[in-house]
């Protein structure tokens, strides 16, 4: 399965080392994880500004992402605004471009959409339910 992880899930994996870290680890083993330059920039910015990571720590996280996730590269922007947060439209556009199966996010503006085209938009908790259901 092709999974697109939003920046908040990636950041949580490196900050808390809890459920989000388990989700990332599981997806690395069982699925293909996709990202975009937009997500990488967002992760980098938030780690520095909100969590006071130093440059070395940020580079380690970014190198991990670049080594283990598939970057969608250039993608076409959406023709119209979908999310309340215009930044979230970047996530949707990248996910559509790569034809992922689902987006995993903690972002409420994305979660209220639930599904965009054929892409499910799931919280980390709902991802586990979806994963269990898709295995049956």
- Quick: pLDDT tens for 82-131: 877 888 899 999 999 999 999 999 999 999 999 999 999 999 999 998 88
Q: How many helices (H) and strands (E) does the chain have?
A: 7, 6
77 CB neighbour count, 10 Å cutoff: 11
- Distant-in-sequence contacts of 123-128, Cβ < 8 A, 24+ apart: 124/9, 124/19, 124/20, 124/23, 125/19, 127/23, 127/102, 128/23
Q: CA–CA separation, 115 vs 103, rounded Å?
A: 9
What would the CATH number be for the domain defined by 2-135? 3.40.50.1010
Residue 32 confidence class, pLDDT cut points 50, 70, 90 = very high
Domain range summary for the chain, segments of one domain joined by +: 2-135
In this predicted structure, the answer to whether residue 74 has a pLDDT above a threshold of 90 is no
Q: Are 73 and 43 in contact (CB under 8 A)?
A: no
């Amino acid at each position: 399965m092709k999974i697109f992880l939003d920046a908040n899930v990636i950041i949580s994996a490196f900050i808390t080392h809890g459920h989000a870290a388990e989700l990332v680890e599981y997806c690395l083993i069982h699925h293909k994880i996709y990202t975009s330059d937009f997500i990488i920039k967002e992760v980098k910015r938030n780690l520095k500004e909100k969590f006071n990571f130093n440059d070395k720590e940020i580079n380690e996280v970014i190198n991990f992402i670049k080594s283990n996730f598939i970057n969608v590269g250039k993608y076409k922007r959406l023709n119209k605004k979908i999310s309340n947060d215009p930044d979230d439209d970047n996530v949707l556009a990248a996910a559509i471009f790569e034809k992922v199966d689902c987006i995993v996010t903690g972002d409420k503006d994305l979660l209220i959409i639930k599904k965009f085209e054929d892409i499910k938009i799931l919280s980390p908790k709902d991802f586990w339910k979806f994963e269990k259901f898709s295995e049956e």
